[in-house]
Amino acid sequence: MTDLADALRPATAEEWPAFSRALFAAFAEPGPSSFTDAVPPYAELDRSLGLWDADRVVATSGVYSRYLTVPGAVVPCAAVTWVTVAPTHRRRGILSAIMRRQLTELHEQEREPVAALWASESSIYGRYGYGVASWKGNLGGRVQRMGFRPDVDLGAGRVDLVPVEVYRAAAADLHDRVRRQVPGNLARDERWWDRALRDEADQRSGATERRHLLHTEPDGTVTGYAAYRVKGAWTEDSEADGTVVVEEVRSTTPPAHAALWRFLLSVDLVRNLQASMASPDDPLRHLLADARALHSRPVDALWVRLVDVGRALAARRYPAPVNLVLEVRDSFCPWNDGRWALTAGPSGGFCGQTDADPDLVLDVEALGAAYLGGVSLATLQAAGRVTEVSPGAVTHAATAFRWPVTPWCPDEF
């Protein structure tokens, strides 16, 4: 093969079936025909990269153009996806070449200041400057133990099972409002709602078709939605032992959230809850009389990479005033490597390069982890990932970077 940087190129529509099959082969999955047979509407082939060895696709990657909620703002985000290298071509620098090409193009073209991805293996992406910025809750437990506290307000609204067409219109409107309040949430246009609601029989993992709920107030206002499936099971004694598989619960009021969860925990023939994509900070735990009934096994979700430190830090908001010099170490993206003066607060701020002495020293991976406000810079200091130069700087920075809403990304890509 020739030089990797020159050999990488976007896939064409004609090459898509081979490209997508190579992608799923690397993940040892068959892949849905709706994705592999033709280019799906949400794919952006001009932002793909592939590597061919003769007529064989041996590496793939792509970027989706998304909008990401960050503390106090929404920013363009390069959602990195489809990243694979064939087993026959590993340890040749191909993945590094893909990562460098993506990040360099984003920087040189002044596109998205932030990149994000879901990692198939958690040991891979730290070396490219990505840090774990959000977690998924992996909530579960036995539903018979999940009785609500007697003081839970269920409101005067009602929960109804609705056809997908009715659900989609109401859920899309509500989602566009609530996603702006939660760091880590991504905007969904029509293409992404098509993808979110796709329900192919061979992708259900033994569960039912997706079922859709709306919570409506007496005046007809929709204040919540939920999507779920049921996976049936029976014990040896012929007792029902099914699982309610909750895919998403969103609401604009506490009573709507409580009412939706009350419905989901009361589904017939169900004894178990599985909500792998839920926020680790979902209010459900605080609705229960027995908080120990809800189990949580958080797993890393969205990994964030600051493509351009100055633009990214200036784009978000800070709940407390901050005036610090950060020395950022970024060997993979040298344009970030150096000292950055951050002056910001609740209404916004400025971040630019400086020659001033640093208050903190940290690598870009740690900065990405803290960017959405869910990982404390003080915790990272305790792990040896942040060095305090000016006394009190960690406390100052940790206070300013945190956010009251836990980051959460319910959309895998």
Per-residue tens of pLDDT for the chain, all 413 residues: 457 878 999 999 999 999 999 999 999 988 888 899 999 999 999 999 999 999 999 999 999 999 999 999 999 999 999 999 999 999 999 999 999 999 999 999 999 999 999 999 999 999 999 999 999 999 999 999 999 999 999 999 999 999 999 999 999 999 999 999 999 999 999 999 999 999 999 889 999 999 999 999 999 999 999 999 999 999 999 999 999 999 999 999 999 999 999 999 999 999 999 999 999 999 999 999 999 999 999 999 999 999 999 999 999 999 999 999 999 999 999 999 999 999 999 999 999 999 999 999 999 999 999 999 999 999 999 999 999 999 999 999 999 999 999 999 999 99
Residue 124 lies in a domain: no
Residue 389 sits in a domain whose CATH number is 3.30.1050.10
Residue 299's Cβ-side half-sphere holds a number of Cα atoms within 13 Å equal to 14
Which of 273, 299, 325 is where one domain is finished? 299
CA dihedral 212, 218, 219, 221 (to 10 degrees): -30
Instruction: Please report whether residue 272 resides in a domain.
Output: yes
Tell me which H or E stretch contains 397.
helix 393-401
DSSP 3-state of 206: coil
CA gap 117, 131 in Å, rounded? 10
284: left (phi over 0), alpha (psi -120 to 50) or beta: alpha
Enter the DSSP assignment of 236.
Answer: T
Examine the domain organization and report whether 156 and 24 are in the same domain.
no
Are 79 and 153 part of one and the same domain?
A: no
| Alpha-carbon 333 to chain mean position | 23
The residue to which tokens 């996976």 are assigned: 231
* Number of structural domains the chain divides into: 3
Residue finishing a domain among 64, 96, 112: 112
Buried b (16+ CB within 10 A) or exposed e, 339-354: bbbbebeeeebebeee
Six-digit token pair at 146? 């999940």
- CA Rg value for the chain: 23
State whether residue 370 is helix, strand or coil: helix
Same domain, 272 and 354: no
Residue 346 lies in a domain: yes
Q: Do 31 and 107 fall into the same domain?
A: yes
Assess whether 258 and 336 both reside in one domain.
no
Task: Output the pLDDT for position 203.
Answer: 87
Q: Say whether both 83 and 154 belong to one domain.
A: no
Q: Are residues 263 and 202 in the same domain?
A: yes
339 and 287 together in one domain: no
The whole domain housing 368 covers 310-401
Q: What is the CATH number of the domain that holds 34?
A: 3.40.630.30
Distance CA 308, CA 310 (A): 6
Domain-ending residue, one of 96, 112, 128: 112
Q: Do 214 and 274 share a domain, yes or no?
A: yes
Residues 207 and 322 in one domain: no
Q: Does residue 24 come out as left (phi exceeding 0), alpha (psi in the -120 to 50 range) or beta? A: alpha
Q: Residue 270 burial (CB < 10 Å; 0-12/13-18/19+)?
A: buried
Nearest to 308 by CA among 106, 132, 128, 125: 106
Does residue 130 lie in a domain region? no
Are the C-beta atoms of residues 35 and 20 closer than 8 Å to each other?
Answer: yes
Does residue 169 sit within a domain?
A: yes
Other C-beta atoms closer than 10 Å to the C-beta of 395 total 13
Question: In terms of domains, do 259 and 145 share one?
Answer: yes
Question: 3-state DSSP call for residue 315?
Answer: helix
204 and 346 assigned to the same domain = no
Is 374 within the bounds of a domain?
A: yes
Q: Is the pTM of this model over 0.85?
A: yes
CA dihedral 162, 166, 168, 174 (to 10 degrees): -90
Question: So which residues are the catalytic ones?
Answer: 125, 413
Q: Do 293 and 146 contact (CB within 8 A), yes or no?
A: yes
Residue 411 lies in a domain: no
- Those residues whose C-beta lies under 8 Å from the C-beta of residue 80, and which sit 6 or more positions away, are 61, 62, 63, 102, 115, 116, 117
pLDDT one-digit tens code per residue, 340-387: 999 999 999 999 999 999 999 999 999 999 999 999 999 999 999 999
Please give the Cα distance from 329 to 368 (Å, whole number): 12
Contacts of 339 (CB under 8 A, 6+ apart): 325, 326, 327, 328, 353, 354, 355, 356, 358
Is residue 120 in a domain? Answer: no
